[in-house]
Amino acid sequence: MKLLRPSLFFTAALLVVCCALYPAAVTLAARALAPDGATGSLLRTGDTVRGSRLLGQTFAHPEAHPEYFWGRLSAASVDPATGFTVSGGTNRGPMHPALLDDARARLAALRATGVTGAVPVDLVTASASGLDPHISPAAARVQIARVARARGLSVGTITDLVDAHTERPFAGLLGEDRVNVLVLNLALDALR
């Protein structure tokens, strides 16, 4: 009984510090130092949130959207109640037959749109999280002709747009060239 009161006091104190004060301090610091990142790096068109710069956006049937660049395959889905992307990778290993089926289906969809030759691997596979918002510049380039044709624009215009939205490695050292698919697709919509 002698230890019960101090134990309860310290438990309550740690709950307040760890579950209220610390998270509030971190949230306030993040909003002060990186306001865009602290709120999810949301991309808006007017008052409409179009997605996050940090998350890949999925189409239920990308072949129904030839006017947009397609991102990587994803196990993520859209919650019909909220309209938000529900994150989730896949637990399919490299020997899982559905993994090969998904890659073959994407490759067939790309071939049906006129893509010939080698297809970059990031267009037919998912990232580890299934939420990667980027594709390689090569993956964007193989889609240029389809997007230009679907939008009635010149290949040169779309190529210039891809080049303008290719992100370079941090400090020229960390990472690889990459293209954020959502940012590129929003730039395409802005051309109208």
pLDDT band at 62 (very low <50, low <70, confident <90, very high): low
Asked whether residue 56 falls in the same domain as residue 14, the answer is no
Torsion sign (Cα): 167, 170, 175, 180? negative
**pLDDT value at residue 16:** 96
Count of structural domains within the chain: 2
Asked if residues 134 and 103 have their Cβ atoms less than 8 Å apart, the reply is: no
CA distance 49 to 163: 25
Asked whether residue 133 falls in the same domain as residue 88, the answer is yes
CA distance 81 to 8: 41
Asked whether residue 104 falls in the same domain as residue 11, the answer is no
Asked whether residue 64 falls in the same domain as residue 35, the answer is no
Residue 73 confidence (pLDDT) above 90: no
pLDDT, average across residues 38-57: 78
Asked whether residue 55 falls in the same domain as residue 19, the answer is no
The percentage of residues in the chain with a pLDDT greater than 90, rounded to a whole number, is 39
Asked whether residue 16 falls in the same domain as residue 82, the answer is no
Tokens of 11: 């438990």
Residue 86 confidence (pLDDT) above 70: no
Q: Which domain holds residue 2?
A: 1-39
**pLDDT, tens only, 103-150:** 888 899 889 888 888 999 888 887 777 778 889 999 999 999 999 999
Asked whether residue 24 falls in the same domain as residue 64, the answer is no
62 DSSP assignment: G
Q: Is the pTM of this model over 0.85?
A: no
Asked whether residue 128 falls in the same domain as residue 34, the answer is no
Asked whether residue 114 falls in the same domain as residue 69, the answer is yes
The rounded mean pLDDT for the chain is: 85
Asked whether residue 34 falls in the same domain as residue 64, the answer is no
In this structure, the number of other CB atoms found within 10 A of the CB of residue 91 comes to 7
Asked whether residue 145 falls in the same domain as residue 56, the answer is yes
pLDDT band at 50 (very low <50, low <70, confident <90, very high): confident
Asked whether residue 86 falls in the same domain as residue 109, the answer is yes
